[in-house]
Amino acid sequence: MNAARSGDLAVRTVSGIALIALALAALWGGGVWLWLLTSIAAMLMLAEWSDLVQPDPRQKRLAMFAGCVPLAIMSPLASGVSFFSFGLIIGTAFFVTIVTLRPRLGFGIAYVALPALALLFLRGRADGLLLALWTLATVWVTDIGAYFAGRSIGGPKLAPTVSPNKTWAGLIGGVASALILGLLLWQFAGLPPQLAFASPVLAVIAQIGDLYESWLKRQAGVKDSGTILPGHGGVLDRLDGLVPVAPAAAALILLDTLL
């Protein structure tokens, strides 16, 4: 490993640890603290999303102002996690689409707000700290496992036209890491076994989310969605796997409750 790559890995590691610590603190605090962090992250993601789909600056401002509404309603001091909050997200997405005539800009509202709602839903359950931690940690270990398996093993590319650095070995490493995490949380933290064995599925979903964001960046002709996070690029670059995983995890919990 050359000096430049070693330095980049060091920056990514330090930045990643700081972000994980911040997320864990918000998870532990729950309530307003978690809502505040998820809302800030969602607004930063929406700004980056808007830059990727390249709307008129006035349309971007409209989307930003509109996106604040459902995020504010999610606050524990307002409606919180509710069907009203969910409906407002969908309604706001349609509103932005109709007013701007930019469906991708409207879709961005749902893209950033639904994961925030899902994470707040998970944390608000009786065993919410474990469920939210499982969701986040699954994405984290998938990224870590995929990174090191891809670097050390290499081999055939997963989607060379979208993300040239991703390999099938990386995908398998990420899935295996997620399964190991799920089994450990089942044995030592009381995670329901059906969720533990669903962890590899979430790992695949996380990788799909990563590839989707890579495709968006290729469409926009940029390397990163932003520059706010040292070594990671933008917030979308860091949370691209969590965006689809959080709603998927919430759906699994709802399905498990109904059954």
251 and 129 share one domain: yes
Tell me: the pLDDT tens digits for 115-154?
A: 999 999 999 999 999 999 999 999 999 999 998 998 888 8
Query: Structure tokens of 72?
Result: 């504010």
CB 45 within 8 A of CB 236: yes
Query: Structure tokens of 73?
Result: 């309603």
Task: Give the pTM.
Answer: 0.92
Q: What percent of the chain has pLDDT over 70?
A: 96
184 and 208 share one domain: yes
173 and 259 share one domain: yes
Residue 115 and residue 197: Cα distance in Å, rounded? 22
176 and 138 share one domain: yes
Residues of the chain scoring pLDDT < 50 = 1, 3-4
pLDDT value at residue 2 = 54
170 and 76 share one domain: no
